[in-house]
Structure 1
Amino acid sequence: MEDLDTRVLRAALTWQQAGQPAVLVTVARTWGSSPRPPGSLMAIQGQGWVVGSVSGGCIEDDLIARIHAEGIEAVCARGRPAVLRYGVSAEQARRFGLPCGGTVELVLEPLGAHSRLAELLAARQQRQALCRELDLHSGAVTLRPATPQDEPGIVGERLLTPFGPPVRLIVIGAGDLSRFVCEMALGLGFELIVCDPREEQAQGWAFGGELPGVTLTREMPDDCVQRLQPDARTAVIALTHDPKLDDLALMDALATPAFYVGAIGSRRNSEQRRARLREHFDVPDTALARLRGPAGLFIGSKTPAEIALSILAEVVAAKNGVTLSDQASVATAKAMREALTCA
């Protein structure tokens, strides 16, 4: 399953290429509380079809009604973007479901060949980070490499929308737990690669049925990590319990900018893994400090599905830059419970 931005862009491009008038709506600015952050996208097609969202639903209904009232052909014929603001008054905030009097500013962009959606989608598939600049007067679009300083919003007479590559998850091991991780991660819009050279695991994976959107590779995990070169939008999780498969791949992953590197296992096995990586592979302590193990947040998980949920919650928190209390980790939480039991 594609991430939401890609789905919106692909739908908009499909409509545009079919000659159907369509509008791309972008959240440009927000004040106070707002359901969707700047950079959020929605595409509206002439018959009222919608992909994506810019609020909890009420603003979308009003936008569709406005476009229908004017006629989407007339909206697109203007050729230039329009800026709309919702929630300026308390009455609007109540009407459109904006919490705490929040305000949201939207840019409505008529789509055409000048919109450069095909180039943007191609760049995302190649894991390039681009910033899309929309001239609010002419509707012209410029694509350039994104920088860490780029933030979504209006700067002068331009709307800036940075697009990073889709978030990617490399899963080492093709067992039952891996399948639950992938099924859940698909719904979160992750790009998924499962790596396992073992014949029996590959057969077991195939028996479970195809998971569209998941790539299964039979190469050695460390070769897979080296080939894919994890970037800052990549997470790596080792799920095999087999040091021959996990250790080298983890060593390689820890040497990359991957935002998350983790491995399942007991607390004892996790400490033994760290010792092996330190003593046999000279992995420095600074890199080992990034290794999440036992992976996941402590939620009392018992089943593979619950463990998968625990792991993905930690991955998503890391992706979003959320610093969690050490007490949320599996190792610390279990140690605290044991201490209370023995007291």
Structure 2
Amino acid sequence: MDSLDLEVLTRARDWLHAGHRVMLATVVRTWGSSPRPPGALLALRDDGRAVGSVSGGCIEDDLIHRLRRDGLPRDAHTVSYGVTADEARRFGLPCGGTLQLVLEPLADAGALDELLDRLARNELATRRLDLASGRATLHAGHADQGLHFDGHTLISVFGPRYRLLLIGAGQLSSALARIASALDFAVTVCDPREEYSEEWNVPGTVLTRDMPDDVVIAMRPDARTAVIALTHDPKLDDLALMEALKSPAFYVAALGSRHNNDARRERLKEFDLSEAQIERLHGPAGLYIGSRTPAEIAVSIAAELVAMKNGAAADSLLNVRDAKAALDIAADTLSSCAVAPT
């Protein structure tokens, strides 16, 4: 879940403790283009205060208008927007966009306390809402779950933010950390080298000077964790990679040329790693966009990071390694044609 949705749950809990009545709106289905994905949250207080987002703003305005006109609903129910072209224009939805919300009156601050406590412990949790009774229960979750709604029961998945560990506190790491933070990753930067770590100043990130392998082990990477090695120093990068590749981390990558990454793969064979684990390494890191500057390289790596997070098909991505190999083949072909007799 992203930090905005965490804020929604926190504010809703605080409003309930303060004696307010609260309604929670959850996006459960979308068709065509839609401003917010399934699972997005909005909390409305009985006096019209709101936090969160389910659209670009027009649907929020309509829900606030309904609340002030009719009061908060007594029962959980669904509502749809954008079913017709006229509604899409009225509510500011993209062309063809339609979304369905579950509107749920909240009454139990203690239940949100329990959910937020689980999230504070970095646990994944599912919240099951039965629309007929309005009863919500909490259960353990796992990383491959997603929101489910069958018209009667809403199962929402809540869990820690996606985490990103960067090895190295140089200029490229700074650019990538800023992009990743904007993408709502919780960013940790590891660099035991004082000449780099002393200059780190990216707000909202965590800096550690511990050794990279110790940091990876302590973080216990899961399916919502990515590890990227950026120092060009095998003594630091390889230590982190050998632990990360043995973990369920969804993206493990390293900066460097194809030659350097081939050498890195050979070095990793000397550790307790299988061929399959070494094959998980993305190196050189990033998608091919012709990047040259640190900021452009950061964009390239961030693009591959998001693609892997979102499950984009590998054969639809043009990674740096394959793209440069293809360019080499093309250059060799052109060179051969240039010297061939006519």
Q: Give TM-score scaled by structure 2 length.
A: 0.88
Structure 1 contact 114–141 (Cα < 8 Å) conserved: no
* Cα drift, residue 47 of structure 1: 5.0
Q: Does 1:221 align with 2:208?
A: no
Structure 1, unaligned runs of 5 or more:
none
Alignment partner for residue 96 of structure 1, among 71, 91, 95? 91
1:231/1:238 CA distance change after superposition, 3 Å: same
* Cα drift, residue 125 of structure 1: 2.6
Structure 2 contact 143–223 (Cα < 8 Å) conserved: no
Task: Say which SS state the counterpart of residue 94 (structure 1) adopts.
Answer: helix
Aligned to 1:35: 35
Per-residue CA deviations over 1:42-75 (Å, capped at 9, x if unaligned) read 22234544333223333222112211222xxx31
Larger CA deviation: 20-29 vs 303-312: 20-29
Alignment partner for residue 245 of structure 2, among 254, 258, 281? 254
Aligned to 2:185: 190
* Cα drift, residue 275 of structure 1: 0.8
Q: Does 1:238 align with 2:233?
A: no
Structure 2 contact 46–72 (Cα < 8 Å) conserved: no
Structure 2 contact 17–109 (Cα < 8 Å) conserved: no
Aligned to 1:295: 285
The one-letter code matched in structure 1 to 2:72 is: V
Per-residue CA deviations over 1:126-160 (Å, capped at 9, x if unaligned) read 22111101232343321001257754233463221
Aligned to 1:180: 175
1:125/1:309 CA distance change after superposition, 3 Å: farther
Structure 2 contact 147–157 (Cα < 8 Å) conserved: yes
* Cα drift, residue 31 of structure 1: 4.0
* Cα drift, residue 7 of structure 1: 2.5
Aligned to 1:109: 104
1:99/1:84 CA distance change after superposition, 3 Å: same
Task: Say which SS state the counterpart of residue 24 (structure 2) adopts.
Answer: strand
Aligned to 2:309: 319
Per-residue CA deviations over 1:216-272 (Å, capped at 9, x if unaligned) read 111110011111110001000111111111112101111111000001011111111
* Cα drift, residue 173 of structure 1: 1.2
Structure 1 contact 3–190 (Cα < 8 Å) conserved: no
Q: Does 1:310 align with 2:305?
A: no
Structure 2, unaligned runs of 5 or more:
335-342
* Cα drift, residue 327 of structure 1: 6.2
Structure 1 contact 166–191 (Cα < 8 Å) conserved: yes
* Cα drift, residue 32 of structure 1: 4.6
The one-letter code matched in structure 2 to 1:241 is: H
1:218/1:61 CA distance change after superposition, 3 Å: same
CA distance in 2, matches of 1:231, 1:187: 21
CA distance in 2, matches of 1:165, 1:304: 29
Task: Say which SS state the counterpart of residue 199 (structure 2) adopts.
Answer: helix
Task: Say which SS state the counterpart of residue 122 (structure 2) adopts.
Answer: coil
- Length, aligned pairs only: 332
* Cα drift, residue 99 of structure 1: 4.6
Aligned to 1:271: 262
1:236/1:155 CA distance change after superposition, 3 Å: same
Over the aligned positions, Cα root-mean-square deviation in angstroms equals: 2.3
Per-residue CA deviations over 1:74-97 (Å, capped at 9, x if unaligned) read 316x3x323212233343233234
Aligned to 1:139: 134
Aligned to 1:127: 122
Task: Say which SS state the counterpart of residue 253 (structure 2) adopts.
Answer: strand
Aligned to 1:10: 10
Structure 1 contact 169–193 (Cα < 8 Å) conserved: yes
CA distance in 2, matches of 1:179, 1:204: 10
Structure 1 contact 124–166 (Cα < 8 Å) conserved: no
Structure 2 contact 255–285 (Cα < 8 Å) conserved: yes
The one-letter code matched in structure 2 to 1:296 is: G
CA distance in 2, matches of 1:158, 1:21: 23
Aligned to 1:63: 63
Aligned to 1:24: 24
Q: Percent identity?
A: 53
CA distance in 1, matches of 2:107, 2:188: 34
Task: Say which SS state the counterpart of residue 116 (structure 1) adopts.
Answer: helix
Q: Give TM-score scaled by structure 1 length.
A: 0.88
Structure 2 contact 16–109 (Cα < 8 Å) conserved: no
* Cα drift, residue 10 of structure 1: 2.2
